[in-house]
Copies of this chain bind each other. A is one copy, B any other.
């Protein structure tokens, strides 16, 4: 039912194939974020049409609303949402630490108040597993403690050690063989803590490993240093997932260090805010110079938005506060990400990953089509 194979390499970058009970994910893969069981502003058909192979959903949000037991009754995330391709759920740890106030952390778990109605809930390794088994995603995550950034080293040290203990308890509590449970390497920006975390988690022989606690405000150099340090440590034959990352630049950095899976709210959130990623640079649709621009947002893009919409029309819809603007720009940004990942994979297979990386990052750093004639 399950397998992961690396099919090609270019330097440390790898093109892989993750086979799940709900279909294949070609890696490196970007996973659109469907926080509440939907990618904000999109229909399932739009997400399918752009070729998304896996979707992420948030345990924290779904356990609070509409409730994981309700979702289980309605056929799990697949039955509930109708998305028939693979799902990944996070553990809830990151949201509990970033979204909720008034939380109490003990070795047992975290007691917190819902950001929706203030009601009290507990997340622990056992509870996170129960919820994620109810949700029924293909890939699920061990419950971890994600320390804030910056934090004193001793805080990160203790969170990292607890993450290992919680990973053991997660593994013991997990009882669905149709799901793969990934461990999460913590350790902040401290390379020795990262290494200890990776080595401890590898003893559990989990089917995949994630790098958590990055893209939380640390300098880019720290992100790159952690990835460089972990790359030779993590198992070569298992999938590697860099959580919550990131910009296209970050994703190229991750791929270059052997990362296979990514997720980030950036393309969807920026889309709703009128910030577009294009082959001619980053583009803010609010800019007045687009008011009479009949060109598509990205002349090199084949997505529905770029096939059907001018910059002028898109700017008008955005300025008028039309929901359709959020739909169209979310659609383009996700198409840009998915297309970029597909092309990354092709160029790994062709052993031309570095050339493609330079070329793409150059185009993305272009002055947002400013210099081009109208």
Contacts and interface: CB of A to CB of B under 8 A. Distances in A.
B40 A291 contact: no
A319 interface: yes
A99 to B, nearest CB: 14
Given A82-B309, A322-B38, A73 B292 contact: yes
Given A74-B292, A291-B66, A323-B327, A316 B37 contact: yes
Nearest to A38: B324
Contacts of A327: 41, 43, 323, 327
Interface residues of A, number: 41
- Interchain residue pairs A-B with the least CB separation, the first 5: A41-B323, A66-B316, A36-B320, A38-B324, A38-B322
A120 interface: no
Nearest to A36: B320
B323 A37 contact: no
A116 to B, nearest CB: 9
6 contacts: A37-B317, A38-B324, A40-B322, A44-B308, A80-B310, A80-B313
Interface in A283-297: 291-292, 294
Contacts of A70: 291-292, 312
A328 interface: yes
Total copies of this chain within the assembly: 2
A42 interface: yes
A74 B310 contact: yes
A234 interface: no
A136 to B, nearest CB: 15
A228 B192 CA distance: 85
B294 A74 contact: yes
A41 B80 CA distance: 23
A326 B323 contact: yes
A304 interface: yes
Given A42-B324, A291-B66, A324-B42, A36 B308 contact: no
A190 interface: no
Contacts of A66: 291, 312, 315-316, 319
Interface of A: 36-45, 61, 65-66, 70, 73-75, 80-82, 272, 291-292, 294, 304, 308-310, 312-313, 315-317, 319-320, 322-324, 326-328
A70 B82 CA distance: 42
Given A36-B317, A73-B292, A43 B324 contact: yes
A65 B320 CA distance: 8
A37 B313 contact: yes
Contacts of A308: 43-45, 82
Given A37-B316, A82-B309, 4 more contacts: A39-B324, A73-B292, A74-B312, A80-B313
Contacts of A81: 313
A330 to B, nearest CB: 8
Given A74-B292, A292-B70, A327-B323, A313 B82 contact: yes
Contacts of A328: 43
